[in-house]
Amino acid sequence: MGRFWSLLFLMVPIVGVLVFVWAMAGWPGMVNHWLPENIGGNEAIWIDRLFLFILGLTGVIFIATGVVFFWFLWAYDAEKTTQPVKYFHGSHTLEVVWSIIPAATLLFIAIFQMKVWANAKLERPQVDGLPKAPIAEITGRQFEWRIRYAGKDGIVGTQDDILKVNDLHLPINEDVVLLIKSQDVLHSFFLPHVRVKQDVVPGMQQFVWFKANRTGKYDIVCAELCGWGHYKMRGRMTLQKRADFDKWLEQAWQEQEVSSFAPSAGE
Amino acid sequence: MSTTAIQPHGGHDTHAPGMSVGQFISTYVFSLDHKIIGLQFLFSTLLWFLVGGLLALGIRWQLAYPWQDMPVIGRMLFSAEGGQISPEFYTTLFTMHATVMIFFVIIPILAGAFGNYLIPLMIGADDMAFPTLNMLSYWFMWPAFILIGMSFLFPPYGAGGGWTSYPPLSVVWDAAPGSHWPQSLWLLGVTFVGVSSMMGSVNYMTTIIQMRAPGLTMFRLPLTIWAMFITAILQAFALPVLTAAGFMQLTDRLIGTGFFLPDGLVVNNSAPATGGGQPLLWQHLFWFYSHPAVYIMILPAMGMVSDIISCFARKPIFGYKPMVYSISGIAGLGFIVWGHHMFVSGMNPILGMTFMVSTMMIALPSAVKVFNWLGTIWGGKIQFTTPMLFALSFVSMFIIGGLSGIFMAATPVDIFIHDTYFIVAHFHYVLFAGTAMAVFGSIYFWYPKMFGRMMDENLGKVHFFLTFLFLNGTFFTMHILGAVGFPRRLADPYDYDTFRHLLPMNRFMTWCAIGMVATQVIFAFNFIKSMFFGQVVGRNPWGANSLEWAAPSPPGHGNFDFQPIVYRGPYEYGSPEVDTDFYPQTQPPPADPARRYKAPDHH
């Protein structure tokens, strides 16, 4: 039976790798089971690259340890082996080697990714040496995203703001800054297609930024448990060319002005 | 072999045939004997394991067949909804699944059941240092059991704030249906678990330091005991923080303090009166306990697996001291990595960088342990017994769980995979495929000591094989869901275009999960059947070295019927000094110097 069990453990790296290959390569007639389409700029691309780099690295270790594990089980099965047990308590040299190599690798990843992290979370895009103003303010509320666009003056919180719920329109090919906050509980503002995720904390104001390079409609997901309706807190992000976005914004302003909807009602 | 009988110390009653009711209660119910207390923990936690598993099936049912009536049991449980899971109940399902599994199964089965049962036996002591405290540590679980059980009685039938209980959701009375009375009961219940663990932890530390048999130096301790020792230290330092934080949350909920509530909240169109607090404070306090708790949930398993692997490879453990140092290293680093749960929480991103480096470094001692297990099976004579299969699967599965941890430690990658099924895959590989498999292995391994009978090996192997297949079917696929960005805790993720196509995969996982839970019937049957009909065995059925195998099976009061004296470490398998392939710690060296062999200086 030792042979059978050894092979069972060999199936772990084999099937594991096949599952990932299947997911990455796609199956004819099936929808992609891999990272969702990446329409983001530099930060988003680097997040995917880091993911794939770590996947490659851990994949190699996974296969190597899995095969070694199998081989030891196969070769040293008590029913089959005729060699005496190697009475052996360890090796100082080996311990040092297999401590230093992973330590160096992990330190390399740690330092290598700091720039990506800083781009995504610390270095807000700038205009003329000043942090870029948010194009809209998004407030999480059980169970919807309330969106307040800066309007013509480019400043959030003034008379010409445009109010929408769950309907986020943004221009492509430029750095977009969003101010996010919550009025009740924790939410998490997750845009899978541009690799943006940030918990929205009541009492705090935070900024997220990204640059999208494709038009289309995409999901805004809430990724932090916010109550029973958490699952239905779905927003829509419509990415447009700058001209179309300006046109939409103008139209939205007109609709808001002619309708009886007063901005204070949104509060 | 010395056969000096040990006098049982004063706190014990003696077994007597035809005992009175009072004697029965003091012997088996309010027992001071660490073995009975260990078994009490074992039976209680195995029952809760069943509850936790069924709650998991509820989650899986909803993800596979959203808003569809549950066959058979649905109508009994949720008659109001016509047998389907409501979104409110869904939040309580995953909250209570995690709570039960972590606080009522994994922590108490490792520290409470195996810690209690094994520590005195493996160090050659007659009992714990504080037997009364030990008894209390079990009985303080009961208020917790009752409080959490009661939370199932109030709508929506269990706490619904997530097992992390993040405020304001968990604090504001009307923020969620599940944050009414169930949430307060939940907080009290968790506090009692903490009290119980704390009592255990001081007892374990004192016992291991003070009560070792003559000759049993610290570096002759089995790794199980080292792991239990370090775990006890972790509990002693981390638990008070959770208990304090839990009380702060409770006062926020009940008497209107505002530790975790900021100003200006508007929840459900009404403003809570309190403010001036900070939700992130809870997260810091919670993870300052709960990250070390991850190691409380894996270190003892690592120790027990090391003992099992060495025994059935019939070979000394590879790198005993590096194993001890890596346990200590994991525990030490475990205190400075809590922030990796908070990379996208709103915490200062600069702090994220520091936590990222310390988190990366914790992979190091974990890697050392894996390599040492590989080194241990290299060149051995491996016996594929049921405990060995479970222990080997621990190693195989821990490799997956350890490697997927590196993705999370990488802060930029964590932005994408945080709160997705990638995380769920990771911690189920560590805690179910890892710890729970080690627990199964340990039950099969120490069962003959506990009951004097063997469990059925054939049934054990079938149990192992099916569990192994189904768990990988359930949890490995979660990595792929995570790669798509599939979020946790959504009652109906298919509302999003991005995730709609993942339904067939979820169905597959659900059927694997059902298979996995069903497989445990084999285990339960084997466990109960073997208590009465299992093959009767002597003291040392596996040919193992450590001290507990020198005691009778099952050990009587005071454990040993002779004074154990320790001559060597616990991993002397295949020693050329003796003719057998094992060399018990209590066996004196051969009298004939000609037969003696100078072992390399390894300890």
Of B148, B157, B176, the residue nearest B58 (C-alpha):
B157
Residue B167's nearest CA partner among B283, B55, B82, B79 is B283
A251 Cβ partners below 8 Å, 6+ apart?
Answer: none
Question: Is the Cβ–Cβ distance between A186 and B170 less than 8 Å?
Answer: no
- The answer to whether B54 faces chain A, any CB pair under 8 Å, is no
Cβ–Cβ pairs < 8 A, chains A and B: 328
For residues B128-150, average pLDDT: 96
Average pLDDT over residues A186-213: 96
Considering only CA atoms, which of B361, B429, B360, B444 is closest in space to residue B395?
Answer: B429
- For residues B134 and B480, give the distance between their C-alpha atoms in angstroms, rounded to a whole number: 44
What is the bridge-based pairing of β-strands A162-165 and A144-149? antiparallel
Residue A6: its pLDDT value, please?
97
The residue-averaged pLDDT of B383-396 equals 98
End-to-end C-alpha distance for chain A, whole angstroms: 70
Residue B347, token pair as written in the block: 């915490």
- CA distances (Å), origin A141, targets A104, A157, A201, A233: 45, 18, 11, 9
Distances (CA, A) of B599 to A69, B182, B219, B570, B574: 28, 61, 16, 15, 12
Say how many residues make up chain A. 267
Residues of A in contact with B377 (CB under 8 A): 69, 72-73, 76
Average pLDDT value for chain B: 92
Between A99 and B176, whose confidence is greater? A99
Residues B390/B460, Cβ–Cβ less than 8 Å: no
Tell me, yes or no, if A104 comes closer than 8 A to chain B by beta carbon.
no
In chain A, residues 19-38 whose CB comes closer than 8 Å to chain B: 19-20, 23, 30-36
- Residue A189 pLDDT more than 90? yes
Per-residue pLDDT, averaged over B370-390, amounts to: 97
Residue in B161, B353, B396 nearest the CB of A12: B396
Q: What per-residue confidence (pLDDT) applies to B17?
A: 57
B403 touches chain A (CB under 8 A): yes
pLDDT of residue B18: 67
Average pLDDT over residues B281-297: 95
pLDDT above 70 (res B9)? no
Residues 6+ apart with CB under 8 A from B429: B397, B398, B400, B401, B404, B475
Name which of A113-117, B270-274, B290-294, B305-309 the model is least confident about: B270-274
Q: Is the pLDDT of residue B3 over 70?
A: no
| B335-358 residue pLDDT tens | 999 999 999 999 999 999 999 999
The confidence score (pLDDT) of residue B274 equals: 79
C-alpha atoms less than 13 angstroms from C-alpha of B216 in its C-beta half-sphere: 30
Q: In whole angstroms, give the CA distance from residue B537 to residue B552.
A: 10
Per-residue pLDDT tens over the stretch B199-249: 999 999 999 999 999 999 999 999 999 999 999 999 999 999 999 999 999
- The answer to whether the CB of B565 falls within 8 A of the CB of B215 is yes
Q: What is the pLDDT of residues A39-91, one digit of tens each?
A: 999 889 999 999 999 999 999 999 999 999 999 999 999 999 888 999 989 99
Average of per-residue pLDDT across A219-235: 95
B528 touches chain A (CB under 8 A): no
- The span from the CA of B335 to the CA of B324, in Å, is 18
The answer for A 44-63 residues in CB contact with B (under 8 A) is 46-47, 50-51, 54-55, 57-58, 61-62
At CA B404, angle to CA B399 and CA B407, rounded to 5? 145
Q: What CA–CA distances, in Å, run from B474 to B60, B238, B421?
A: 10, 32, 12
Sort A232 into a burial class: Cβ within 10 Å, 0-12 / 13-18 / 19+: middle
* Inter-chain touch B496–A221, beta carbons under 8 Å: yes
B541-574 per-position pLDDT tens digit: 999 999 999 999 999 989 999 999 999 999 999 9
**Amino acid identity at B238:** A
Which pLDDT score, from 0 to 100, does residue B11 have?
Answer: 42
From chain B, the residues in CB contact with A61 under 8 A are 399, 403
pLDDT at residue number A259: 63
Rounded to an integer, the average pLDDT of B104-115 is 96
Question: Which residues have a Cβ under 8 Å from the Cβ of A38 and sit 6 or more positions away?
Answer: A44, A45, A48, A193, A194, A195
Work out the pLDDT band at B594, boundaries 50, 70, 90: low
Structure tokens at B4: 């000096």
Burial class from Cβ neighbours inside 10 Å (0-12, 13-18, 19+) for residue A84 reads exposed
A129 interfacial to chain B (CB closer than 8 Å): no
- Stretch B107-113: mean pLDDT: 96
Query: What is the model's pTM?
Result: 0.94
Helix%, strand%, coil% for chain A, nearest 5: 45, 25, 35
Question: Is there a contact between B603 and B218 (Cβ–Cβ < 8 Å)?
Answer: no
How far, in Å, CA of B411 to CA of B343, rounded?
A: 7
- The CA-based angle A63-A65-A67, given to 5 degrees, is 65
Count CA within 13 A, CB hemisphere, residue B446.
30
Taking only residues 491 to 510 of chain B, the set having a beta carbon closer than 8 angstroms to any beta carbon of chain A reads 491-493, 495-498, 501-502, 505
CA angle B97, B100, B106 (to 5 degrees): 115
Average model confidence (pLDDT) across chain A? 93
Q: Look up residue A210 and give its amino acid.
A: F
* Residue B12: per-residue pLDDT: 46
What's the pLDDT score for residue B176? 78
Name the CA radius of gyration of chain B, rounded.
25
For B493: left if phi > 0, alpha if psi spans -120 to 50, otherwise beta; the answer is alpha
Tokens of A127: 């205009």
- Spatial distance between the Cα atoms of A146 and A136, rounded to a whole number of angstroms: 10
Burial letters B281-309, b for 16+ CB under 10 A, else e? ebbbbbbbbbbbbbbbbbbbbbbbbbbbb
A258–B contact, CB cutoff 8 A: no
H, E, C per residue of B513-532: HHHHHHHHHHHHHHHHHHHH
- Say if the Cβ atoms of B367 and A46 lie within 8 Å: no
Please report residues of B whose CB lies closer than 8 A to that of A210: none
A82 near B CB under 8 A? no
Structural contact between residues B220 and B566, judged by C-beta atoms closer than 8 angstroms: yes
Q: Give, in order, the Cα–Cα distances in Å from B285 to each of B252, B261, B342, B409, B597.
A: 15, 15, 12, 20, 55
Tell me the C-alpha distance between B344 and B418, whole Å. Answer: 8
pLDDT digits (tens, 9 = 90+) for B426-482: 999 999 999 999 999 999 999 999 999 999 999 999 999 999 999 999 999 999 999
pLDDT range class, residue A93, cuts 50, 70, 90: very high
Which residue is it, tokens 């709960």?
B290
* CA triple B233-B136-B434, angle to 5 deg: 50
**Res B396: pLDDT:** 97
Please tell me which of the candidates B357, B384, B581 has its beta carbon nearest to residue A85. Answer: B581
